[in-house]
Chain A
Amino acid sequence: MNKKLPALLMTAVLFAPFFFGVSLSDSQEEVATNATVTVKVFVDITMQLNQTGAGVDFGQLDPGQYGYSDNNNLTVEPTTNVDVDIWMRSSDFTHNSYTILAGNFSYSHDNSTWNSFTTGYVNWTQVSPMSPGDTTDVYYRVYIPPGQRAGTYTGTFYTLANESA
């Protein structure tokens, strides 16, 4: 009896780490299943011109003079389900072979902080990001460079609205 007890104790001590290790491993196991769901992205923007008839009209201007538009609105409609960043750019304006560069046109949300247009998109940081239901005022300004040839110049203002990063 005296000889068997130390042998049993030794066996228990020897196998203890196995039992301990296995039980600890079991407690750390996790079962995970990957799942994805994609929510459809609605983006809906309205640009409202607060004047009837044709687009923005700066009227009759002389070289060296600024012209200002009326107040317009840009609205992120309630069907939109993401925040959106607003980016602005403009084409150069042309009349026959004459050009007014895009940089002579500006836009503003308060009629005092003006951002010059470029031909590439620039994030309109004063209004971005906009949430569904938000509306911002949009004012446009043009500067006619000295010596600019007379005529009616045409061009396009572009607005890019995309899901905010």
Chain B
Amino acid sequence: MRRATTSFLFIIFFLSLSLAQEAPKYNFGTMQQGKNFYLHPGEEFEIPIYFYNVYGNRITHVIITPENVPEGWEVEINPEVHNQTLIVSGIRTTIQENIYVEPTNATGDLSSCQEIISRFDSPGKCLWNDNIKSYIPAKEVRIRVKVPENETLGSVHTLSVMARARWYDITGGISFSQERRFNYRIMVISESYYEYIVRTFDLGAFFVVHKWEIISVVSLGLLSLLGFVTYRLYKKVKSLESQKPRKGGR
């Protein structure tokens, strides 16, 4: 038993040593689901963003900040920013983050992906990626948006969320960070559907819409006039013919 434990510790030691020796790969994968939303005044809505790390060999720490928040709107990130204590290369440090994303593998098998998700300590989802024909185990962050009750109907707002990824295997000097901005276009609409037509008289538009009716009426008028004139001429000719003296009459 003791020999087995010693062997296990040896394996862990060499594995961590080989990982530390490996050149760092700082991977930051994200999936944005939806960019345009229609919300009504007073509505609360949650927008998910997914984070994954299938090509990296270091843990990615993510901090998320709302930007361009319209006045009076409420935006919250879940999980919230919290302190996280790390031991990096033997040095204890405390950082702030919303989530961390450990390196995982993409898999063609959904149940394998779900097994990975079940080991996450925050909500996750298996994302199908058609480019690599695999499921990606991803961690979920939800952006909760609340529109003020008095927001103007028809107003359009651009809300942004900035996600910053950092890696903490640096013993000093220069560190690296990746950032990604998620933009959302939100239109404020009425909760219930209604529609009415605003009528204003526009001669040009009236002609375009009713051109055949107008042409018909004008034609009708002209032809009526032509018919009337023709009829009067016809009557006139008839009356003149009737007044002509008959040949051979007494």
Contact = CB atoms under 8 A, between A and B. Distances in A.
A and B: bona fide binding partners: yes
Interface of A: 6, 10, 13-14, 17-18, 20-22, 24-25, 38, 40-58, 75, 77-81, 93, 132, 140, 152-162
Contacts of A153: 173
Contact of B35 (A24, A25, A38, A157): A38
A44 B177 contact: no
Given A10-B223, A78-B131, A44 B26 contact: no
Nearest to B33: A40
A48 B174 contact: no
6 contacts: A6-B230, A21-B211, A38-B36, A154-B175, A159-B179, A162-B180
Given A46-B25, A52-B22, A79 B175 contact: no
A42 B181 CA distance: 13
A86 to B, nearest CB: 10
Given A44-B30, A54-B173, A79-B29, A17 B216 contact: yes
A79 B131 contact: yes
Contacts of A75: 55
Kindly list the 7 A-B residue pairs having the minimum CB-CB distance in the complex, ordered from nearest. Answer: A21-B212, A44-B29, A17-B216, A54-B171, A41-B32, A46-B27, A47-B26
Given A53-B171, A161-B178, A45 B216 contact: no
Contact of A18 (B30, B169, B216, B230): B216
Interface residues of B, number: 52
Nearest to B36: A38
B198 interface: no
Interface in B10-48: 20-36
Nearest to B30: A43
Interface of B: 20-36, 52, 54-56, 106, 127, 129-132, 136, 169-181, 211-213, 215-216, 219-220, 223-224, 227, 230
Interface core residue of B52, B55, B169 (most chain A CB under 10 Å) = B55
A55 B177 CA distance: 11
B-side interface mostly: mixed
B171 A21 contact: no
Given A14-B223, A18-B216, A54-B172, A158 B177 contact: yes
B36 A48 contact: no
Nearest to B26: A47
A154 B177 CA distance: 13
Nearest to A132: B131
Given A52-B22, A78-B131, A158 B28 contact: no
A22 B212 contact: yes
Contacts of B211: 21
Given A14-B220, A41-B35, 5 more contacts: A10-B223, A46-B25, A80-B131, A152-B172, A152-B173
Contact of A79 (B35, B136, B212): B136
Given A46-B25, A48-B25, A156-B177, A55 B170 contact: yes
B56 A43 contact: no
A132 to B, nearest CB: 6
Nearest to B179: A160
A40 B182 CA distance: 12
B57 to A, nearest CB: 9
B172 A154 contact: yes
A42 B23 contact: no
B216 A47 contact: no
